[in-house]
């Protein structure tokens, strides 16, 4: 039975109890929301992994994506990237490998970390089709289901599966004269090519009940992928993106009714004034399924800094009600991320999620504690409150003057040092107050 099915029967699983404890929420609230599909817990029983809850009332979670390409396929580097993602606070990890020994990379990554691991089984299926049949469009449809089953058996905790692409959405893409940014989803583009070449419906949409049954059997969370996500600001919230969202929201409900944990994926490039509308639509149409936002990137003209453009979008997404954020690294649109890019992406997304949670959950306690620690020159307290204490310590050490009572930004002109004795008895947060 899945977490959803157990929760619906009134059972408090160890995963529900752990999520409740980690989040500081009553177990009954978590159980009830899991039963209604408003919280998912990626907990495939074929692998031991950290308990992570994603959804309503919980802290916004961060996913880090790694994986090989056909140009760079280095198992050791992918393992290092996975470890870096876990070290710096990612909640989950996706292996999006498309080159080299895909199965070997996935196994090595899963063996090296305790995070729940997600995949896009379509990638391995099309890679195998190219190798065995000469072209992705020659892939037998059955291979999609075989790969999905195999990865579930290996312990994959959640899967992005492109069920919302169908003949109607492809025709809509054609009628709207394609897109400024093209079709940027690898899985989406390969699937559309397969459908057009073979003049067939998407097997993942046509046989959705089979997809659900495979994932339900292993309690792998179904993440309804958005193969028609916008890859450019001027393509955001267009007809084909919204049509796919409509389909995915309907499928999310059908998946839940069949006992499968489900969530819905959101758009990639979105101007900030359209973010809230996307989240409102997804939540209303899906029955409050957890919403997994990919970024979103908020401008197209900052390659090299897209972890910042995405952090802007992620903070607003979190504040408006998104539950799960896929990080973006500085190498987005430029090349395969390396370990340092992973670190930058994770930290930027964690900052963004916290900024959003400050609004969504009124979670400002750590910020108040940091304010007082800065006022009182309590450096160790400041470091303990940092999202990246390692970076803060490095900067302080390199730019320090040997004093624990000041920093070199102001030196002897430190504003707090000047007034600390004058208002000491009246300060909020002091022993007296």
Question: pLDDT tens digit string along 249-294?
Answer: 999 999 999 999 999 999 999 999 999 999 999 999 999 999 999 9
Could you tell me which of 116, 138, 19 has the C-alpha nearest to residue 63? Answer: 116
pLDDT at 417: 79
Judged against a pLDDT cut of 70, whether residue 430 lies above it is answered with no
Judged against a pLDDT cut of 60, whether residue 432 lies above it is answered with no
pLDDT at 78: 98
pLDDT at 423: 75
pLDDT at 401: 72
For residue 202, give Cα distances in angstroms to 140, 168, 171, 190, 215.
12, 11, 13, 11, 18
pLDDT, tens digit (0-9, with 9 covering 90-100), for 74-119: 999 999 999 999 999 999 999 999 999 999 999 999 999 999 999 9
Contacts of 99 (CB under 8 A, 6+ apart): 68, 69, 70, 71, 72, 73, 127
* % of the chain at pLDDT higher than 90: 90
Judged against a pLDDT cut of 70, whether residue 300 lies above it is answered with yes
pLDDT at 402: 65
pLDDT, tens digit (0-9, with 9 covering 90-100), for 13-58: 999 999 999 999 999 999 999 999 999 999 999 999 999 999 999 9
Confidence label for 418 from pLDDT (cuts 50, 70 and 90): confident
State the Cα–Cα distance between residues 24 and 39, nearest whole angstrom.
15
pLDDT at 406: 72
Token couple for 13: 């699983």
pLDDT at 317: 98
**Range(s) for CATH 3.20.20.540 in the chain?**
60-360
pLDDT at 400: 76
Judged against a pLDDT cut of 90, whether residue 179 lies above it is answered with yes
Confidence label for 433 from pLDDT (cuts 50, 70 and 90): low
pLDDT, tens digit (0-9, with 9 covering 90-100), for 110-142: 999 999 999 999 999 999 999 999 999 999 999
Q: Which CATH code for domain 60-360?
A: 3.20.20.540
Give the pLDDT mean for 52-76: 98
pLDDT at 413: 86
Total-model pTM: 0.95
pLDDT, tens digit (0-9, with 9 covering 90-100), for 308-354: 999 999 999 999 999 999 999 999 999 999 999 999 999 999 999 99
Helix (H) and strand (E) counts for the chain? 19, 10
Confidence label for 426 from pLDDT (cuts 50, 70 and 90): low
How far out from the chain centre does Cα 17 lie?
23
Contacts of 342 (CB under 8 A, 6+ apart): 64, 66, 81, 84, 85, 88, 329
């Amino acid at each position: 039975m899945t977490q959803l099915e157990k929760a619906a029967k009134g059972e408090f699983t160890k995963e529900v109890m752990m999520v409740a404890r980690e989040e500081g929420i009553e177990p009954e609230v978590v159980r009830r929301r899991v039963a209604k599909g408003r919280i998912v817990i990626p907990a495939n029983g074929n692998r031991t992994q950290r308990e992570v809850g994603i959804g309503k009332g919980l802290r916004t979670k961060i996913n880090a994506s790694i994986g090989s390409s056909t140009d760079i396929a280095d198992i050791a580097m992918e393992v290092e990237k996975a470890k870096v993602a876990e070290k710096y606070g990612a909640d989950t990890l996706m292996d999006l490998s498309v080159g080299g020994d895909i199965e070997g990379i996935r196994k090595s990554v899963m063996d090296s970390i305790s995070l729940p691991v997600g995949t896009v089984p379509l990638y391995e299926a099309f890679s195998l089709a190219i190798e065995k049949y000469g072209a992705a469009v020659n892939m037998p449809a059955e291979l999609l289901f075989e790969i999905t089953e195999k990865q579930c058996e290996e312990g994959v905790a959640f899967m992005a599966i492109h069920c919302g692409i169908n003949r109607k959405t492809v025709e809509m893409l054609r009628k709207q004269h394609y897109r400024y940014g093209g079709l940027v989803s690898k899985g989406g583009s390969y699937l559309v090519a397969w459908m057009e070449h073979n003049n067939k419906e998407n097997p993942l949409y046509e046989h959705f009940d089979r997809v659900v049954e495979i994932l339900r059997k292993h309690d792998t969370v179904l993440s309804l992928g958005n193969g028609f996500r916008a890859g450019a600001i001027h393509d955001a919230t267009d007809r084909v993106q919204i049509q796919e969202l409509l389909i995915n929201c309907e499928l999310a409900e059908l998946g839940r009714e069949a006992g499968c944990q489900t969530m819905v994926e959101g758009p990639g490039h979105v101007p900030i004034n359209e973010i809230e509308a996307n989240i409102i639509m997804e939540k209303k149409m899906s029955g409050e399924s957890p919403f997994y936002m990919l970024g979103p990137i908020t401008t197209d003209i900052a390659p090299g800094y897209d972890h910042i453009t995405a952090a802007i979008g992620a903070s607003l997404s979190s504040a408006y009600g998104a539950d799960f954020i896929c990080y973006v690294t500085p190498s987005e649109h430029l090349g395969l991320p390396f370990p340092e890019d992973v670190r930058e992406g994770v930290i930027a997304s964690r900052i963004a999620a916290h900024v959003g949670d400050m609004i969504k959950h009124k979670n400002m306690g750590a910020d108040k504690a940091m304010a007082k620690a800065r006022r009182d020159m309590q450096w160790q307290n400041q470091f303990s409150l940092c999202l990246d204490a390692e970076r803060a310590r490095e900067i302080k050490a390199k730019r320090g003057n040997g004093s624990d009572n000041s920093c070199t930004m102001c030196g002897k002109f430190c504003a707090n040092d000047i007034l600390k004795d004058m208002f000491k008895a009246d300060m909020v947060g002091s022993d007296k107050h």
